[in-house]
Amino acid sequence: MNKLIAIVGMSGSGKSVATEYLENKGFNKIYFGGVILDHMKKNNIEINPENEKNYREELRSQYGMGVVAMLLLDDIKKSLEEKDTVLDGLYSWDEYIILKNEFKDRLNVVAIICDKQIRYERVGKRLERPFNKEEITKRDLSEIEHLAKGGPIVYADYYVMNNGSVEKYIERIEEIIEKIERSN
């Protein structure tokens, strides 16, 4: 049976590294943010961090906090029929509930966590969408308060502490994959 892993965590925690690693191992990737970007393009809205945030929040206030998961359910099912699948960008508790109800124990949520200061340093240095401390603090609070992002992180099945080396980080991800394989 193919594995379904959702990677969750705050900005700068290392979600993209984990997702990319799983993709390189042969997993299909489903990017939740892609739904937002596709809708923005269809509506001729300039893509930038502020517009993306506003559009994401507007879409969820209009259609519910689980809208992105609902829009992606068929894609996830199709992907899972083909091979192991990683979900990049599960944010809200409602999205988690929708996916858990649909996929039951096949859904494995992996939370990537690290010290806030380390996250902030990483986000400030990244090439794509860098933020200063004030911007990332504002984003963190917005995601917690308006997107209910904390629930899936707190209730994850597995945790990866990402304060150290990439090698240790990948080692822990491998341990988790092995545990998931043994439980299937």
Q: Tens digits of per-residue pLDDT, 155-171?
A: 999 999 999 999 999 99
pTM, entire model: 0.91
Q: What are phi and psi of 161, to 5 degrees?
A: -85, 120
Least confident residue range of 21-30, 80-89, 141-150: 141-150
pLDDT score of 128: 79
Amino acid at 26: G
pLDDT score of 1: 86
Residue showing tokens 């689980």: 66
Determine the average pLDDT of the residues in 150-156. Answer: 96
pLDDT score of 149: 93
Amino acid at 163: N
Q: Tens digits of per-residue pLDDT, 62-88?
A: 999 999 999 999 999 999 999 999 999
Share of the chain above pLDDT 70, in %: 100
Question: Which residues span the domain enclosing 102?
Answer: 4-183
Q: 184 falls in which pLDDT band (50, 70, 90)?
A: confident
Does 108 have pLDDT greater than 90? yes
| CATH code of the domain covering residue 27 | 3.40.50.300
Mean pLDDT over the full length of the chain = 93
Complete DSSP assignment for 15-59: HHHHHHHHHHTT-EEEEHHHHHHHHHHHTT---SHHHHHHHHHHH
Distances (CA, A) of 97 to 17, 152, 182: 25, 9, 24
pLDDT score of 90: 92
How many CA atoms within 13 Å lie on the side-chain side of 79?
20
d(CA 172, CA 120): 22
| CA angle at 8 for the pair 149 and 158, rounded to the nearest 5° | 120
Number of domains in the chain: 1
Instruction: List, in sequence order, the alpha helices (H) in the chain.
Output: 15-24, 32-42, 49-63, 67-82, 93-103, 116-125, 133-147, 150-154, 166-183
